[in-house]
A = this chain, B = another copy of it.
């Protein structure tokens, strides 16, 4: 085996460092860290590091070996550990990890109280740049939006649709996905449920009609709620409304600060 050449470790003379090199699109089962101990999910993982100018290639297999041997549920603390271990394994001063996976919550229908699951897309990211670690959390919350203009100008009814409200945040103290979901769902025209009985359907229909929101209203109201949380230092909030009267989306974004 010793005779097999290590091409990646040979010297490079092009004088060009590489900002990030690694793997992406690695699909694997893992656990989200939750208060209750962990939730099984299937993630898509991306991991990469800085490569200095003198080094020809990185060691691709070490990324896979590391993530496959990592046996802790993924949360803020363990992602920090994982990111720092990656830098050590790859002998790099900078690098980043992105864990993208669905997250599930049990919700109770608003009138009947019947329970069902709702699914959300979450991406938790950790990055070290210039020796400083920071993490970010991205949560996509599907919700109902109901158009205030349509309601106002029509004698009856109002167009409504599914929207994706996406929050990407940096925090100086752990903000959990559940907290972001709760915060966002309160600002939509109505939240979604996996299972609704007829009394629940009446409730959500009337609730949405009572809470009409433009795509602009949604991002403004979510932004106000995010600003009120002192743990959140930076955020982007986006809403994409899959308009039920058009075949394209309405979209709004607030970048703070």
Residues of A near any B CB (own CB < 8 A): 1, 4-8, 12, 14, 16-29, 39-42, 46, 48, 51, 56-58, 60-61, 64-65, 68, 101-102, 104, 114-119, 142, 144, 146-150, 152-162, 190, 192-199, 201-202, 204-206, 208-209, 214-217, 219-221, 223-224, 240, 242-255
Contact = CB atoms under 8 A, between A and B. Distances in A.
9 tightest A-B CB contacts, nearest first: A157-B209, A40-B40, A154-B205, A21-B252, A26-B248, A7-B149, A27-B119, A24-B251, A64-B195
A16 B223 contact: yes
B1 A194 contact: no
Q: How many copies does the complex hold?
A: 4
Contact of A245 (B7, B104, B152, B201): B201
Contact of A159 (B51, B102, B152, B208): B208
B14 A224 contact: yes
B21 A215 contact: yes
A48 B27 CA distance: 29
Q: Is the interface of A mostly helix, strand, loop or mixed?
A: mixed
A220 B119 contact: no
A255 to B, nearest CB: 5
A220 B244 CA distance: 21
B215 A64 contact: no
